[in-house]
Structure 1
């Protein structure tokens, strides 16, 4: 136990600047870790929501385990998942079509007559799909999602999940054999930054402390630009030029004059890395989000996205007429679930909260109590 604490403290002191995290392949992947390691990972001092397994930064995991407890809410399930090393809570959102149209689908099936019936076959297919997302205690669950710490407890916010049918334990045995090899070949090996990147990042810009200063300036510049120009959507290359002066000022004149051929690529690499981390921070704050995850990297500006604001108002206008929400209004998690189904599955809670605050400041909606909103 003392060894683990000592290791964590040493790792915290040696934490690499966030601009270099993208060089680690683990950072962009769904890490397949044991639950006991997920629960013990420390959170980054630089960026909340990023965690470290030894020297590897990560924020999303791929997990397989047995459901040991189950709690149901209106919009999501809470599954306790056990992989024999520990238990972690997984928050899995319900699919809106199962909540809203399940009864109608069943009624259609019962009304069908004998023989082949398209609607009846469709109902059977939908029921099969529904059963894969409805789990009971003892079922095998596979989850992919990002990590979050809520009320001092680590949990997984699922982006995808499904029940695994594994009657002869083929899937579980395969994973049991795979995991030790992954730890040996990847996770337990220290993350070494290439010396060229380390020199380009740390030496030319004045060290890790200056990285954080550059990142703060970059975030401020981009926020001011988006607000002043009332930008609703943009791509990274649309705003990359805004960061050129920051990097150019931070590079010593001698390196530019003496090594003009090599300094150029180093500067462009730093600009791209700085922009990548800036966008990541703005996403974490909810200032921007990606409506669609595709190769065309388009970011929506939360406060300027009129379709998003309209979708939120429509949800509140419709649902606050229901008796259940008439008095207190709709909880932020209910709004999030509804807007995700109506507008974008990739909308984060942080982006929703920014949009709600913007609408409230404009007197379009009002908060009735903590985390509850209604229309005026």
Structure 2
């Protein structure tokens, strides 16, 4: 594959890359998109997807080819959108088989069922080797930086391991979460370049959402309508510098309504508020103050954690989200659910298990 370079005029300045949270994260991108990313002209080894600067990626797929060298494995990983070469270094400990257990020395601590550190270490090494040695058709998860070597895009694995998924539960969860990430983050084209008028609008919306949040904390608001918070934002409109362009576009009343609408949309996107029922009467509920929502989520986790399917690992957050939408409100977002679960966990009402699973005592 020929790695194409980005147009220098379009590429955001490298000093701004840190403003994008994706830059410091392992981006869960489809292999097809990783292969199509364009490389930075400023810093080789940095790539762009929708102007998001990408360095590290997180890939999950099926091994379709395998090459072994003295120090590393080359696995071809196919996630259904493309195949990418993953260079996975062998762990030094996996080659150090001449340890105490192979030197002819016997360890008396393992006799008669006593705990043997040497034996346990050997078991750990065996487990590690089994998770790092894969065959064609097995599932592999790889995390690491993207590189272009000999005109071929590949991943230099910093972490990799075999995934056992006999009933495809891990694959389904992965695909669902990646789809959600694309929808909420990756497919939203990031504008890192400062725009004079845009900065003013963004600053006003941020200030407006902060004012509304403070209002929730002070008054312990459970539900409200836009008209209840609109007057709180009037000072932001009054403080705008008046230019001929802004005067022509909107009256102050229209600006106030527009600012309120945008601030409430920001609060909805981050899960702070939600609309239980979407109707002409715009009623918003404050997520962390809605006791009925807390009770509904508790009931779902309590009931479903008793089922055999969820008894061991607990209920996955996507299962809880689906159930709460069916039983309580179609408009509860994942962000809103995460805020409630975080609050419940702080109060010890629920327990967070691994990989977004929750259960109760």
Which structure: greater helix fraction?
A: 1
Bigger Rg over Cα: 2
| TM-score, normalised relative to structure 1 | 0.47
